[in-house]
């Protein structure tokens, strides 16, 4: 079973990739299942909220057209902040989502990828602030399947990789809450494209998740173009087995489906 559960196309603000071309690429690569997870971000990035109706109609067309060749699921990547929870609760009720990635792309409408959030803060402050914001959101928002690229802040840390041990307490709170509420985490293979020295999230976090009893894991390429689709998903499955996980997940109607690694 080979599935890519984090995919962006021209319905996301940061991609021009044609959705049907993405499906055709996935079929060419021998993927069994894919899930589109277009970006939706309110706040400073408010102009980047996905056009849900157009996105859903195209998904339905492709799902029907390629139904005998590949399974296609309908998802979204919600960049939830504390003050935008209401908008996402409304969005979730309007469409039959199979899968939702909950990600942290900004805090107080200040983005990480521009390094604006990090400005004027110590490395301790912006790393802790990043995880604290995730914890604050998940205590109030439950309409999600997995946490996306949990230690994503490492991508944009100009000082260097911050030790997971320094934020172990808050990460433990996050993972414990996720497990208690029947949610999961994803492994995001963009770590290889960004040249990071570890998986996203790291082996440290994955081992902690397993130790705490976590079982729900999806794997996604975070694709934005042709060369990203399905990228190194098989390699990640092997790493999960080394850590001791037995399954990875796909989703249907927001319910996890477990597949043997």
Sequence spans of domains, the chain: 3-260
The two tokens of residue 48 are 């980047």
So what's the pLDDT on residue 180?
98
Q: How far apart are CA 166 and CA 181, in angstroms?
A: 25
Q: Quote the pLDDT of residue 42.
A: 92
Beta carbons of 257 and 249 less than 8 angstroms apart:
yes
> Which of 8, 107, 106 lies closest to 50 in space, CA to CA?
8
Digit-coded pLDDT (tens) for 85-100: 999 999 999 999 999 9
Average pLDDT over residues 240-248: 97
Predicted pLDDT at 43: 81
Token digits of residue 25: 């690429």
Q: Give 253: exposed, middle or buried? Use CB within 10 Å, 0-12, 13-18, 19+.
A: exposed
Burial class (CB in 10 A: 0-12, 13-18, 19+), 119: exposed
Query: What mean pLDDT is reported for the chain?
Result: 96
> Of all helices (H) and strands (E), which one includes residue 228?
none
pLDDT for 11-63, tens place per residue?
999 999 999 999 999 999 999 999 999 999 998 655 688 999 999 999 999 99
Residues 197-207 have a mean pLDDT of: 97
Residues 40, 53: Cα–Cα separation, whole Å: 13
CB neighbours of residue 197 within 10 Å: 8
CATH of domain 3-260: 3.20.20.140
Answer whether residue 236 shows pLDDT above 80.
yes
Rounded to an integer, the average pLDDT of 73-79 is: 97
Place 241 in a pLDDT band, splitting at 50, 70 and 90: very high
pLDDT of residue 44: 64
Q: What is the pLDDT of residues 116-160, one digit of tens each?
A: 999 999 999 999 999 999 999 999 999 999 999 999 999 999 999
Q: Which are the contacts of 26, defined by CB distance < 8 A and separation ≥ 6?
A: 4, 34, 70, 229, 230
């Amino acid at each position: 079973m080979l599935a890519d559960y984090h995919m962006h196309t021209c319905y996301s603000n940061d991609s021009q990739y044609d959705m049907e071309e993405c499906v055709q690429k996935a079929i060419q690569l021998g993927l069994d299942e894919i899930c589109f997870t277009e970006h939706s971000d309110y706040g400073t990035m408010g102009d980047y909220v996905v056009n849900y109706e157009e996105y859903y109609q195209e998904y339905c067309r492709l799902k029907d057209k390629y139904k005998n060749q590949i399974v296609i699921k309908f998802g979204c990547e919600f960049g939830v902040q504390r003050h935008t929870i209401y908008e996402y609760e409304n969005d979730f009720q309007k469409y039959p989502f199979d899968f939702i990635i909950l990600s942290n792309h900004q805090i107080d409408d200040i983005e990480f990828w521009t390094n604006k959030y990090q400005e004027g803060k110590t490395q301790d402050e912006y790393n802790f602030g990043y995880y604290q914001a995730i914890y604050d959101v998940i205590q109030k928002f439950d309409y999600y399947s997995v946490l996306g690229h949990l230690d994503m802040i490492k991508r944009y840390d100009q000082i260097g990789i911050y030790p997971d041990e320094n934020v172990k307490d808050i990460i433990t709170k996050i993972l414990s809450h996720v497990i208690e509420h029947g949610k999961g985490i994803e492994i995001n293979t963009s770590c290889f494209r960004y040249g990071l020295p570890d998986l996203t999230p790291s082996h440290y976090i994955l081992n902690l998740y397993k130790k705490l009893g976590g079982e729900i894991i999806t794997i996604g390429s975070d694709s934005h173009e042709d060369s990203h689709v399905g990228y190194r998903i098989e390699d990640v499955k092997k790493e999960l087995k080394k850590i001791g996980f037995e399954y990875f997940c796909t989703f249907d109607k927001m319910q996890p489906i477990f597949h043997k690694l």
